[in-house]
Amino acid sequence: MMRFSVSKLASALVAPSEPTPSGNLPLSSVDRTTAVRVTVDLILVFEHGEEPAKVIREALSKALVPYYPVAGRIVEPNPGEPEVACTGDGVWFVEASTNFGLKDVNNLERPLMIPKDDLLPCPPHGVNTEDVILMMQVTKFTCGGFAVGIRFSHTVFDGLGVSQFLKAATEMATGLTQPTVAPVWCREAIPNPPKRPQGEPPSFNAFPFENSIIDLSLDSINHVRDEFIKETGHKCSIFDVITAMVWQGRTRAIGLESHVEVRLGFAANVRHLLHEVLPQGGGFYGNCVFPVGITSTSGKIKHASLVEVVSLIREAKESLATKFSEWLLGDPQEDAYRVPLDYGTLVVSDWSRVGFSEVDFGWGEPIHVSPLNDDCNMVASCIYLKPPKPKQGVRLMTRCVVMEHLASFDDLMMKSA
Domain boundaries along the sequence of the chain: 9-189, 210-416
CATH 3.90.1150.10 fits 9-189, yes or no: no
125-151 average pLDDT score: 94
202 versus 92: the higher-pLDDT residue is 92
* Residues 211-255: tens digit of each pLDDT: 999 999 999 999 999 999 999 999 999 999 999 999 999 999 999
**What is the per-residue pLDDT across 30-89, written as a single tens digit (0 to 9) for each?**
999 888 889 999 999 999 999 999 999 999 999 999 999 999 999 999 888 899 999 999
Annotated active-site residue in 131, 215, 360, 374:
360
Residue 396 — φ and ψ, nearest 5°?
Answer: -100, 125
Residue 209 confidence (pLDDT): 94
Residue 210 sits at the vertex; the CA angle it makes with 205 and 215, to the nearest 5 degrees, is: 130
Q: How many whole angstroms separate alpha carbon 332 and alpha carbon 363? A: 51
Write the CA distances from 8 to 5, 75, 94, 325, integer angstroms: 10, 29, 7, 48
Would you say residue 417 has pLDDT above 90?
A: no
CB contact at 8 A, 91 and 64: yes
Residue 132 reports pLDDT greater than 70 = yes
Percent of the chain with pLDDT over 70: 95
Question: 160 falls in which pLDDT band (50, 70, 90)?
Answer: very high
* pLDDT computed for residue 240 by the predictor: 97
- CA dist., res. 402 & res. 409, Å (int): 10
**Annotated catalytic, 360?**
yes
pLDDT exceeds cutoff 70 at 199: no
Superfamily for the 210-416 domain? Chloramphenicol acetyltransferase-like domain (3.30.559.10)
Same fold, 9-189 and 210-416: yes
Catalytic residue among 31, 41, 154, 410: 154
89 catalytic per annotation: no
d(CA 280, CA 394): 32
